[in-house]
Amino acid sequence: MRYFNEINILRAFAILAVISIHVSTYFTKMGSINVLAATYMAIDVFSHFAVPLFICISGFVLYNKYSGAIDLRTFYEKRLMSVLPQYLIFSTFYLGVTYIVPMIRAKPVDLDIPHILYLYATGGCFYHLWFFVLIIQLYLLYPAIVRIYHYCDARGRTCELLIALFFAGVIFHTIYPAPDVYVLGVATRFMAYIFYFVLGMFIRSRYDDLVLKSVSTTPPYCLSLPLLCCTLLGIFTYAHEYFAVEITRIQPIAGQYWHWIDSMTTPLYYVVIFALCFGISLHLVSRRTRVFTVLEKIGHYSFGIYLVHAFFIYVLVQVFPRLGFDWNNWLFYPLTFALTLVLSYLSVEIIQKLPYSTYIIGSTR
């Protein structure tokens, strides 16, 4: 099995973007749009490539290891043991945190057992744990996905497959089930991300011929215009959703089709960011600078950082406003981001020294 140094750099970019999303999202608590809120929105829009990139990396890595015949029992044992224990442990941990804090404040909590089981089943114990339900779905489906991919690839139809999965994701986003059938949405969530997963498989199968000859030689300035346009599109969408802003010159043109436009451009936006991140990662791998060393370590710890970072954000956001320092301050984002990253990194560094740490924060090799 071939090893790719750049994959850990990409994981580092993805986990940094995850932390960025969960810090910048506090623009939603601002009362009106100003320069700071617009800055948060731009950061949030751009950073949302994080989970799609993680999914793309998962497709790449799985295809790198399991592109041939698969022993289903061994495959499922290894894959599920790599995510299920960690998911259950941290679901319990976060559920305890979110129940204990309200109890201390004498606020009511829902201790209904069916409700708690529902949270475990849907990734609802804390806001970031939905990702594990998604990745478990893709692991369960991988043997079928790789068969379909091989079938299309043997007939020269992989591009058609990617296009079909792209539109499947667009349709899913535009007709996402209403809250009263939320379970249906969770059960089919993989449809929104399977395009990125198969894209990762496609990139791996043509890595030397396609990626190294094209993406690595693409001038970065060629990506600036689509990045700018899609970021502005995302800012407008956020402004309209969270601040009820109507831009009269755009709204009549887009009308009821605005959501479709956003759903179709967003995956292409993320692919452009993937290309940018990959070009940077190749550059860092070739230079082996101190930045490469730091990002490689963050990439190794990315799984554990994903698990623990939400706790530190939760604590900081509880503490900072009591000190008169909240999201309306320009230093809130950089300080919260930096502290979350450092504390998460150090906690993973400590936990990985414990016995059976793999079952807590995954492998850090």
* pLDDT tens track for 267-285: 999 999 998 898 889 889 8
Q: Are 71 and 212 in contact (CB under 8 A)?
A: no
Please state, in angstroms and rounded to a whole number, the distance separating the CA atoms of residues 363 and 75: 17
- pLDDT tens by residue, 175-206: 765 555 567 778 888 999 999 999 999 999 98
Q: List Cα–Cα distances, 205 to 127, 143, 153, 273, in angstroms.
A: 34, 16, 10, 21
Please state, in angstroms and rounded to a whole number, the distance separating the CA atoms of residues 201 and 122: 27
Q: Are 317 and 336 in contact (CB under 8 A)?
A: yes
Report the amino acid identity of residue 274: F
Torsion sign, CA atoms 136, 140, 141, 147: positive
Decide which of 287 and 88 is more confident: 88
Please state, in angstroms and rounded to a whole number, the distance separating the CA atoms of residues 322 and 33: 23
Residue 242, pLDDT score: 79
Closest C-alpha to 236, from 214, 266, 213, 276: 266
Q: Are 341 and 332 in contact (CB under 8 A)?
A: no
Scan for tokens 């976060």, then name that residue: 94
Scan for tokens 């022993």, then name that residue: 71
**Hey, what are 348's tokens?**
């993973």
Q: List Cα–Cα distances, 209 to 195, 203, 216, in angstroms.
A: 21, 10, 12
Q: How many CA atoms lie within 13 A of 240 on its CB side?
A: 16
- pLDDT tens by residue, 284-306: 988 888 999 999 999 999 999 99
Residue 115, pLDDT score: 85
Q: In 10 A of CB 112, how many CB atoms?
A: 9
Q: What is the model's pTM? A: 0.92
Please state, in angstroms and rounded to a whole number, the distance separating the CA atoms of residues 10 and 345: 17
Residue 319, pLDDT score: 92
Q: Are 42 and 231 in contact (CB under 8 A)?
A: yes
Residue 243, pLDDT score: 78
Give Cβ neighbours of residue 283 (< 8 Å, ≥ 6 apart). Answer: none
Q: Which of 21-30, 138-147, 231-240, 297-306 has the lowest mean pLDDT?
A: 231-240
Closest C-alpha to 61, from 122, 3, 134: 3
- pLDDT tens by residue, 94-153: 998 887 766 666 677 667 888 889 999 999 999 999 999 999 999 999 999 999 999 999
In this prediction, residues 8-33 reach a mean pLDDT of: 93
Q: Are 211 and 203 in contact (CB under 8 A)?
A: yes
**Hey, what are 65's tokens?**
């290891």
Give Cβ neighbours of residue 135 (< 8 Å, ≥ 6 apart). Answer: 55, 58, 83
Q: How many CA atoms lie within 13 A of 232 on its CB side?
A: 8
Which H or E run includes 273? helix 258-287
**Hey, what are 195's tokens?**
């395009």
Please state, in angstroms and rounded to a whole number, the distance separating the CA atoms of residues 268 and 263: 10
In this prediction, residues 216-245 reach a mean pLDDT of: 74
